[in-house]
Homo-oligomer: A and B are copies of this chain.
Amino acid sequence: MQLLRSGISLRIHAIFISHVHGDHLFGLFGLLSTFGMMGRKDKLTIYAPAQLQDILNDHLKYFGEGMTFPLAVHAINTEAPEQIYENDDITVHTIPLKHRIPTSGFLFREKMPLRNLHSRLIAKYNLPPQAMVKLKNGENITLPNGDILENETVTYLPYYPRSYAYCSDTLFSEQVIEQVKNVDLLYHEATFLTDKMEVAHQTMHSTAAEAATVAREANVKHLLIGHFSSRYKCDELFLQEAQPVFPHTAIAKELATFEIPLIPLKPT
């Protein structure tokens, strides 16, 4: 329902599920039915901890009749980071998390863009098309006179590839810090405030201050926090606790969009 409200296209071919607790999973059942109702034909792959396969098998015993498309579960390793997905634009790696059941975050990285050529240099060397392709791919080329043209002297990166890390649900984890270093945007759960630190640790969740500490130590650009316990009546309390630790913190509100701007780089 939220996906339909969001206006995001339903032409989804991969779904990433962190763990098989209901609040992270139950929306999948309706989505699969909706895909069936729409007569979807394209394969759908769900990247999730191995437990999902049994759950889906049982679900499809009762609700599999209308499945018009191939469905695959890719069981992820929740103990060590690994690349689980790649397409022309991005890669996805797992981020092992520490929760009551096997849980994994996901690190989405844009691939390095092709390099841009300094136009004045292209004119200077009168380069053939094959040489330009090599340069865009970051390679050096050999000129007709045998000189090596160093890539960096004639090309530049048009923009830095962007990155987003999704970490829910988890205890505070040093390994997460290592893995999300310098990302543009980090979503990190903040189920509790420091006043409920003990409950947070018992239930294997984080406080807002801990989420902000991960963001600060990992030197990320922006932090989104969410998954707030309903025992707190006001979301702003979480911001109040996180921002003194990490100022660039915002609340992940339902259906809100947080855009990571693509920053063009000038040739040097």
Q: Which A positions have Cβ atoms within 8 angstroms of B? A: 1, 20, 22-23, 26, 29-30, 33, 37, 51, 54-55, 58-59, 61-63, 230
User: Does B20 lie within 8 Å of A62, measured CB to CB?
Assistant: yes
* 15 A/B residue pairs, CB under 8 Å, sorted by A: A1-B1, A22-B29, A22-B33, A22-B63, A23-B30, A23-B33, A26-B26, A26-B29, A26-B30, A37-B230, A51-B62, A54-B62, A58-B59, A58-B61, A58-B62
Q: 6 shortest A-B CB distances, which residue pairs?
A: A22-B33, A58-B58, A26-B29, A26-B30, A55-B62, A22-B63
List B contacts of A30 (CB < 8 A): 22-23, 26
Bound-complex Cα distance A30 to B61 (A): 20
List B contacts of A26 (CB < 8 A): 26, 29-30, 33
Bound-complex Cα distance A33 to B27 (A): 13
Residue ID in chain B nearest A1 by CB atoms: B1
Residue ID in chain B nearest A229 by CB atoms: B37
Of A22, A23, A51, A54, which is in contact with the most chain B CB atoms at under 10 Å from its CB?
A22
Bound-complex Cα distance A33 to B55 (A): 16
List B contacts of A23 (CB < 8 A): 30, 33
Bound-complex Cα distance A30 to B29 (A): 11
Residue ID in chain B nearest A36 by CB atoms: B22
List B contacts of A54 (CB < 8 A): 62
List B contacts of A58 (CB < 8 A): 58-59, 61-62
List B contacts of A63 (CB < 8 A): 22
Bound-complex Cα distance A198 to B204 (A): 54
**Assuming A22-B30, A22-B63, what are 16 further A-B pairs, CB within 8 angstroms?**
A1-B1, A20-B62, A22-B33, A23-B30, A26-B26, A26-B29, A26-B30, A26-B33, A29-B29, A51-B62, A54-B62, A55-B62, A58-B58, A58-B59, A58-B61, A58-B62
List B contacts of A37 (CB < 8 A): 230
Residue ID in chain B nearest A38 by CB atoms: B230
Chain B nearest Cβ from A54, distance in angstroms? 7
Chain B nearest Cβ from A155, distance in angstroms? 49
List B contacts of A20 (CB < 8 A): 62
Residue ID in chain B nearest A22 by CB atoms: B33
Chain B nearest Cβ from A187, distance in angstroms? 20
Bound-complex Cα distance A230 to B29 (A): 18
Bound-complex Cα distance A61 to B51 (A): 12
List B contacts of A22 (CB < 8 A): 29-30, 33, 63
Residue ID in chain B nearest A37 by CB atoms: B230
